Structure 1
Amino acid sequence: MMATLKVKMIIALISVIVIPLAVTAVSLALLSQNIERISSEIDDSHKQTTEEIQLLFQELPPVTSDGFDQRMDDISASYQAALQVFYQGEPIYGEEELNTSPNGLRFNYATISIEGETSAGEQVQAELSLKSSELESRIIKYILISIGSGVLALLLTIGIWVWLLSRSVITPLKAVYEASEEARKGNLDYPVPNGKKDEVGRFISSFNLMRQEIKDSFAKKQAYERSRQELIAGISHDLRTPLSSIQGYVEGLRDGVVKSEERQHQYLNIIHKKTLQVDRLIEDLFDLTKLELKKLPIDQQRISSSSFTEDMIEAISPADHDNKILTIGDMAPSVTLFIDPVRMQQVMTNLVDNAFRYGENHVVVSTRLIKNQWYMDISDNGLGMHEEMLEKIFTPFYRADYARNDGGSGLGLSIAKSIVEAHGGALTVSSEKGEGTTFTVSLPVKRKDNNIS
């Protein structure tokens, strides 16, 4: 599992503290080892220096002679050291403070105490102190190296974490900023790449989801606007056609164009028919609007599927469909449905009427039961529909080319689908060109008391 941003920050903080301290500790450990080695080397050097100076003291002139101080100066310069000489407990040569380095640091272990005898047999004591202690300079050098190593480790650790966090945070945020700028310009097809599982990854996922939802919202808004425009155009067209006919026939009657009573009666029948067509269109529009607003009253009640099917078949008038045959196919066992029988009869009647109107001469009604779904199939042997028609068949005011002059409103299937969906069911269609069409209504079955017949 990938570490979250919070965990990464904690690890970064710990590493920034621990790594430099560890490097410094290792450097100091190495320094300790070097100090021991250097101290041993210096002790050996001091012993050798002591022996050499003791030999030189044997060649010294008497302490009271003029050449004594000059000889001491030569020895001090030769060993690059501060030298103090005592005779009979009194200082006779040298500086008062020998154990102070040029940096003001005292190193007592750098002072060499020597006892010797001059050429005159005088017992003298000397203290030799290095003016620039080799041990001191090496210690300072290693301390600086240790501190420098720690600082370098700190800078490297900070640099590495800045780079890692930049890749984890700054780079993705830059991509989000660029995507938001594109969205501001109207380009919503600009997803932010995301392969992270931490907080930044979740932020990017939320941003992409928001971008997609805004895009879908715009698409729905545009589709709604197109649908609204098509609806207005459809209403205008479908109202204008019958109203124009009504106007023409009324003007003919008013102007006395038609003289015979039979002809006048024919005109009145046409006017009545067109009026019913307008009334049906208006009723369909009311139903469609109420369904879209979820305000169409649905009076659901328990009813057996067999009773509902029988009532539907009885309601179909053979006289309205000359030379057409309605066949009852396979019927599933009766189950309990929870439906508004009036609204569902409206749906089934519309589907059967369409099958009679656009089929050849034969319509088959059958039912089936699959698990908790009851299905009614209404099939015709007509011309069938191609794929483009199937995609638009439930769109308000859509009518196939062969149905444009049949007087329908183009709202029946859209209303039927909405009514079925209001019952928790579905209305689907399947068709092949030249093979006929089948509309299928599926409704949920009530799970209790399914033995009604």
Structure 2
Amino acid sequence: MDKMKRTLRDLSLPGSLVFYIVIFVMLALVLSVMTNSICERAAEAIRMSYPASGEKNYLTNEQGERLGDGVYIGKEFVPLSPSDERTINLLKLLPLIAAPVYSALCIIAAALLFYRKKLRKPLAELRTASEKISNNDLDFSIGYDSKDELGRLVGSFETMRAMLANNFSEMWRQVEERKRLNATFAHDLRTPLAVLKGYNEMLQSSEHAQTKEIAVTMGKHLSRMEAYVNSVSNLRRLEDTRPEYKTVPLQQFVSSLQESALILCTQNGKKLLMQNKTVDCDILMDKMFVSEVCNNLIANAVRFAQTSITLSFSLQGNGLLLSVSDDGKGFDKKTVHKVTSPYFTEETERSEHFGLGLYICKLLCENYGGYLKIADVSNGARVLAFFKTPSFEKK
């Protein structure tokens, strides 16, 4: 019995489907024959319930006495009643109808049994596994004890999952190693940079004009190197930072962001336009995350805006949406997909900026469970930053 079950379990999908259909077609044939036999017997019983008529002959003995019940010669049946005649006609029609009905029902039953025995379990396993992989959960295993096509597919899926888990672990190890090397690199450069800056200050105090000029040029490059080292250190810190949610009065917080943006715009001779579409409520958020993103976006817009910058806040679904737009030249369509990459900038002069502003904003938004998007506008540039919040309460 176990061997037969194993054989059926390992049977290919087409073979299994044919097997189930053949079994149920045979069942449909048996049911049709049984139905036909039952209907014929019922019809015959109705006919036999009517007495026969005609001339009846008897056997007699020598004394002229009748022997037995006699037999009819030219036996005639009494005509059937209309209701019995309809019943017999229905009994004749019923086997003709039952045969295709039995066939259809048995084929449906074969398909359902085929799905239950051969498809349901492996498909459920594959669906569960795909959902876990889509959620970045690779700490599981998938198995299906069969040698049919779906069994081999499940085996291939498990191999893919194992390879993804290994590759993900290796990638994570490499990322952590890169972070560690960058942190070590930034840390180890601080001491020689401090020494070089000290010697550079001594050279800049020289009375020799050419030496002083060279020292000033060296100082600029040393300052750039120091800024780069600081940016690497800050980037590592931000990559590992996660938001700490606290209850914040939203209108008060938006006002503080507006004041900071207004100061920065005024210092650079730009006009700030404010659009506050939020409501008066308390919201759970990390002020440091949102403030740093807002300040970075404003600082980036200030460098490219011609006359004005628009800062907008609104509540969208389950979070806070921040929008910063300017009336500058906008993003280059050829490189717009790179603007959020680290150390990418369209500026030729990179003495102060290393192309980290939008990347840091993207990093903080994603750590916050949100996103950073570059929106298409006809004139200038627009950046959207969304921060997912656990909850907020209207006052």
Output the TM-score relative to the length of structure 1. 0.44
Structure number, greater radius of gyration: 1
Output the TM-score relative to the length of structure 2. 0.50
